[in-house]
């Protein structure tokens, strides 16, 4: 009972929203209308745990989810409170988000990726990972960059019963041998040899940095033309955030 209470209290503390980053604004900007099944949605979270993840990974992105359909609009994710499950796009409609799209996968391979993730619905979140995060959350420590990733991968290591968000997606793509950030070297014959990295070491920013995913920006993909913009003659007061 005490362990359950402690876990529940820790989850409640870490998932409380405390940060309100400025959201990307712009009429006609909608990531929801652009995503396709198999895309990865990176999210800039607002909770205490998001703050820790963004610090430890030195990245804007604190969470990742896998798009499973465009209509009605759903993602599958490993959530701290509920474990692996399906969520509506509406959960993240007011968050900063980035679309990462795998390159060259067939429809059959994309379906295999989705099926793999869906098979893990109900799997619990790796709560031990939360304990490790909490240790470094307050105050924020001066931790060398090379050690920060290790703090995010100190979880239980159980490959069948517990996952964090990036691990779920990494495992799904690795199930069809799709690269994310593999270790690579040149063979004596001049070939590039790739080695799969363990799924537990991946964090949201890896999908952003990976050379094997396109970054999709809705305003750009639909032929943005700055010359067609109509500007007000009045300047906005303050130094803030653009349009």
Residue 156 in this model has a pLDDT that exceeds 50 = no
Q: How far apart are CA 18 and CA 10, in angstroms?
A: 15
φ and ψ at 216, to 5 degrees? -100, 120
Instruction: Decide if domain 12-21+29-217 falls under CATH 3.90.1720.10.
Output: yes
Q: How far apart are CA 66 and CA 165, in angstroms?
A: 9
Q: How far apart are CA 177 and CA 158, in angstroms?
A: 21
Classify the C-alpha dihedral 83-84-86-87 as positive or negative.
positive
Residue 220's pLDDT is what?
85
Q: How far apart are CA 65 and CA 55, in angstroms?
A: 20
In contact, 136 and 56? CB cutoff 8 Å:
yes
CB atoms within 10 A of CB 220: 9
For 10, 88, 204, the CA distances from 81, given in Å and listed in that order, are: 10, 16, 18
Residue with the larger pLDDT of the pair 217 and 128: 217
pTM: 0.79
Look at residue 40 and give its three-state secondary structure. Answer: strand
φ and ψ at 167, to 5 degrees? -65, -40
pLDDT tens digits for range 185-195: 999 999 999 99
pLDDT tens digits for range 107-118: 999 999 999 999
Residue 227 in this model has a pLDDT that exceeds 70 = yes
Helices 2-14 and 48-57: crossing angle, nearest 10°? Answer: 70
Residue 8's pLDDT is what?
65
């Amino acid at each position: 009972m005490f362990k359950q209470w402690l876990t529940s209290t820790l989850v409640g503390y870490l998932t409380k929203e405390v940060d309100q980053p400025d959201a990307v604004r712009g009429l006609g900007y909608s990531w929801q209308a652009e995503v396709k099944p198999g895309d990865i949605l990176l999210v800039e979270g607002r909770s205490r745990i998001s703050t820790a993840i963004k610090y430890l990974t030195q990245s804007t992105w604190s969470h990742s989810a896998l798009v499973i359909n465009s209509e009605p609009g759903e993602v599958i994710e490993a959530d701290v409170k509920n474990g692996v499950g399906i969520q509506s796009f509406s959960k993240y409609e007011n968050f900063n988000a980035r679309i990462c799209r795998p390159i060259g996968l067939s429809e059959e391979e994309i379906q295999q990726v989705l099926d793999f993730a869906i098979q893990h619905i109900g799997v619990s979140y790796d709560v031990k990972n939360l304990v490790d995060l909490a240790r470094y959350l307050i105050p924020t420590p001066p931790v060398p960059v090379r050690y920060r990733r290790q703090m995010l991968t100190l979880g239980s290591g159980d490959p069948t019963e517990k996952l964090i968000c990036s691990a779920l997606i990494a495992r799904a793509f690795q199930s069809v041998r799709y690269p994310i950030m593999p270790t690579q070297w040149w063979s004596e014959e001049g070939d590039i040899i790739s080695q799969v990295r363990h799924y537990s070491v991946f964090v949201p920013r890896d999908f952003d940095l990976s050379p094997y995913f396109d970054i999709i920006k809705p305003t750009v993909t639909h032929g943005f033309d700055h010359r067609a913009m109509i500007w007000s003659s009045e300047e906005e007061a303050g130094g803030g955030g653009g349009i």
